[in-house]
Structure 1
Amino acid sequence: MQKLLRETLTTLTPSKDEQVAVEALCDSLLTRAREVAPEGVEPLLVGSIAKGTWLSGADIDLFLCFPVGADLTKEGLAMARAILPEGEELYAQHPYLRGSVEGRSVDAVPCFRISDTAQLASAVDRTVFHSAWVRENLADSQRGDVRLAKRFLTVAGAYGAAAAVGGFSGYLVEVLIHRAGDFPTFVQELESWRPPVLMGTVENAPEAEITLPDPVDPRRNVAAGVTCDGLARAVLAAQRFLAEPSLDAFTM
């Protein structure tokens, strides 16, 4: 299995050319964001690119961290528009922009700059803490394991936090790989999961197929979005892979 995983990871890891291009684009976006940022606003890269767990073609997530109390709809969108003039306005608890720069999708997301997750004004504010936790806690080798797990779950139809998928979010995958240690151990554990899967307790949380406290906010179940169908697809994929390891498990 190890040889198969090494060969697969080679195909999943972005090429050096793409890594250099993405790094240059991120630097350019941060420079532009700092130029147009009002006093007290800090632009930050978050998401899989910032965490080093991205797959080829990944979006860039640029968060615009405003002081608490700022008008994110007015001030936040104005700054986002200065960075992405042609961006499309979308909504996730409050508005943000999505645009394309040099052929890559970029989200410019206003949020509040807080020092503790107890101060959350919206779920978006938690994302900065997620990125910091992954950078600080995930070993370099585990970033490859995350890439394997993301592709494995994607092929299984169990990757993505959208309600239509009911699968594993990118951050949940990162937490699970950190917990398991590596991809083979994660798959071996996954194969035996039957709901409810309890990996800790979250006070007053609704019942869920998987319960796992968010490392940065123990009041939140980081796996709450995984549905019964999403979990079943992941478990079946793990059973098939362990019975007969194959590249098919990673082939779109």
Structure 2
Amino acid sequence: MIISGRVFTAMAVLAVVAACESAPITGRDRLVPMAEEALQMQAVTAYQEQMAKQPLSKNPEYTAMVRRVGERIAKAAENPPNGLWTAPGFKWEFNVIDKPDVINAYCLPGGKIAVYTGILPISQDEAGLAILMGHEVAHALMRHHAERLSNRTAVRAGTALAGAIVGALIGGRSHRGIGVAAGIGLAVAGNVVALSFSRDQEAEADRVGLILAAHAGYDPGAAVGFWERMKAANAHRDRPPEFFSTHPAADARIANIQRYLPEAQPYYKPSP
């Protein structure tokens, strides 16, 4: 079979992103994440834009608590116990966004953290907040943002390659509809694969986040109560089946966390 330019290009792109590595701590096989430096530069710009547009909390207790817990989590991230991961060398920032109806928090590449006031009642105390922030920092520490970009590039390249091969094998105008249908099917399959990667990353962030919180001096056992409260807060919301969701179902997540706790507990030394 003669390889067309379109097939050759897709094969080349797929080969570039198909290199694999093992994720720290969990050993999960994954595509090598894309370069972190460019992502961190983009994250700084995005974070600054968001902080300029969002209503920052004027509650000094909220701000002090988030920064106090965040700095301990950051210190733990920069001093990995037993060399479990590579110290990230992030330029940390912590802000609280005053949106009581938003139950969310995030950590961008480079350690740019935002916590919405809507999640603070669910966190309840510093231990609960440490579980939340440990989870979000774990995403950045494990380079999940960069990994997702690699995954999407691989899925798109694989879809383009398969579509091009189908077209080359079938050929002819009368079969063009078959090629289009095959392409649509491959695209749907690609989306499901991308979602499964996301669930894997969420579970990984839960596991690594527990170790981070424990290493920072917070009881990782607080995670069970935190996620039970999160489950209750989301009980009234419609959720898709777990297979089509980017996050694990609440009960499955809590069960997994209970399995992870014995691994994290030895790193816990209560802070004075």
Higher helix share: 2
> RCO higher in 1 or 2 (8 Å CA, sep ≥ 6)?
2
Alignment TM-score > 0.5, same fold: no
